Amino acid sequence: MDLKDLFDESSFSFSDFQQFPFLPGHQKLTERVRKRLYYGWDTDCNLDTLSSPVTDIAVELLQKSAPSPIRKLQKKYASHVSREACISPCAMMLALIYIERLRHRNPEYLQQISSSDLFLISMMVASKYLYDEGEEEEVFNDEWGTAGKVEVQNVNTLEMNFLHAIDWSLYTDPKEFFTVLNWLEGSVAEKQGVKRGWFTYTDMCAILEQSLWQQAFVHFYQHIAKLACLLGLVYLTGVSGLIASAAVLQQASWFRDRPGAIFPLVSVEERSELSLPLELPAGTPAPSSDMHCCMLAEESVEKPSGAPATVLCLWGTIFTSLLCTTSPQAFEFNNGQPAASPSCPYCGKIRSDS
């Protein structure tokens, strides 16, 4: 067995490794960063520096994290370092994660260091963690010292202090990385939209993906749904009231047109009150003669036995007389006296001559 081929570099195919930057996931991430972090659509432009909106956010965040007035970070210095040291947006986001960890674990360190030194050393450590594999791509402290206009010994000291302050905790979960990416996209879109006075479709997509905006829209939709349900309930209540009113009016007109309808039963107290003699107003004809048809009608129907039948008949007659209203023009006057109505004033039935 020939073992020479195992140690011959020319026998290995590096096509798989050379195509690694062009994996679908890497292409999607690159397009996303170009589009949402304002790197432009020029594919020839490498992502080896920070865009102007991203630089503004980095400067603002570092000034808040390290409030020391000594060597305060300026945009001009940050742009120079990112251009000379070829800082990628992924390295910048990783540096922001490290700074956030320092805010929780060692806030005293942030009070002692200047914002310019913090920017330089955090970007250098993040670039080392991402790209320095020790063979092809290496990160040298002297190059970063030249880019940041700092002596190499000072760079080494800043690096050791930074690693001790963060307790050498450099690993970052991908979920944490994409969380920072989402926040950075939303911040860039919001600031650029406010600066221009209008938002692009990409800006709106980046803003609406933020958790705070999603919660705000969820609360808004819930309030709209509650308001719609309340208005629907009020509408249904109003329609039900109209239908009930129409039913009551129809029932009343039906009782008026059919005075012989069956009326509700009367309680014992009402029966005792109705059993008393009824005093009719002056001018009302005696019910003895006019109630003849009512009595005849009651006799044709199977009537209850005893006093309740009389009470029910009397109550029905009174209720019918109250419901039935007769207009004055319905009668003809003879010698100032109204003509006798052919119908009974109590039950509304046509009188018989017998």
Asked whether residue 238 falls in the same domain as residue 117, the answer is: no
Nearest CA to 182 out of 37, 78, 82 is that of 37
Q: Is the dihedral of CA 113, 115, 121, 125 positive or negative?
A: positive
User: CA 138, CA 317: separation in Å to the nearest integer?
Assistant: 113
Q: What is the CATH number of the domain that holds 42?
A: 1.10.472
User: CA 57, CA 65: separation in Å to the nearest integer?
Assistant: 12
Which residue, 257, 292, 315, sits at the end of a domain? 257
Nearest CA to 89 out of 17, 40, 138, 146 is that of 40
Asked whether residue 142 falls in the same domain as residue 226, the answer is: no
**Mean pLDDT calculated for residue range 240-267:** 72
Q: Is the dihedral of CA 112, 113, 115, 118 positive or negative?
A: negative
Question: Percentage of the chain with pLDDT > 70?
Answer: 63
Asked whether residue 218 falls in the same domain as residue 194, the answer is: no
Asked whether residue 274 falls in the same domain as residue 328, the answer is: yes
Q: What is the DSSP string of 113-154?
A: S-HHHHHHHHHHHHHHHHH--SSSS---HHHHHHHHT--HHH
pLDDT at res. 20: 47
Across the chain, which distance is largest between two alpha carbons, in Å?
147
- Residues 6 or more apart in contact with residue 311 via CB below 8 angstroms: 266, 271, 274, 275
pLDDT at res. 228: 94
Asked whether residue 121 falls in the same domain as residue 140, the answer is: yes
From the number of C-beta atoms within 10 Å of its C-beta (0-12, 13-18, 19+), residue 38 rates as: middle
User: CA 86, CA 91: separation in Å to the nearest integer?
Assistant: 10
What residue type is assigned to position 167 of the chain? D
Supply the DSSP symbol for 337.
Answer: E
**Mean pLDDT calculated for residue range 30-43:** 77
CA 186 to chain centre: 20
Per the structure block, which two tokens stand in for 143? 């190059």
Q: Is residue 4 part of a domain?
A: no
For residues 346 and 322, the answer to whether their CB atoms sit within 8 Å is: no
User: CA 126, CA 266: separation in Å to the nearest integer?
Assistant: 94
Q: Is residue 263 part of a domain?
A: no
Asked whether residue 283 falls in the same domain as residue 150, the answer is: no
Q: Is residue 9 part of a domain?
A: no
Q: Is residue 350 part of a domain?
A: no
Name the residue range of residue 223's domain: 210-257
User: CA 33, CA 91: separation in Å to the nearest integer?
Assistant: 13
Phi, psi of 350 (to 5 degrees): -70, 130
From the number of C-beta atoms within 10 Å of its C-beta (0-12, 13-18, 19+), residue 109 rates as: middle
pLDDT at res. 6: 36
Q: Is residue 312 part of a domain?
A: yes
**Mean pLDDT calculated for residue range 26-50:** 76
Asked whether residue 204 falls in the same domain as residue 218, the answer is: no
Q: Is residue 13 part of a domain?
A: no
Q: Is residue 352 part of a domain?
A: no
* Higher pLDDT among residues 42 and 221, named by residue: 221
pLDDT at res. 231: 94
Asked whether residue 115 falls in the same domain as residue 204, the answer is: yes
Asked whether residue 54 falls in the same domain as residue 202, the answer is: yes
> What domain count does the chain have?
3
- Residues 6 or more apart in contact with residue 140 via CB below 8 angstroms: none
Residue in this structure with the two tokens 């690159």, named with its chain if needed: 30
Q: Where are the beta strands (DSSP E) in the chain?
A: 333-334, 337-338
Region of poorest pLDDT, from 148-152, 324-328, 337-341: 324-328
pLDDT at res. 24: 64
* Higher pLDDT among residues 234 and 328, named by residue: 234
Q: Is residue 343 part of a domain?
A: no
Asked whether residue 164 falls in the same domain as residue 149, the answer is: yes
- Residues 6 or more apart in contact with residue 206 via CB below 8 angstroms: 36, 185, 186, 188, 189
Asked whether residue 178 falls in the same domain as residue 248, the answer is: no
Asked whether residue 285 falls in the same domain as residue 144, the answer is: no
What's the predicted TM-score (pTM) here? Answer: 0.56
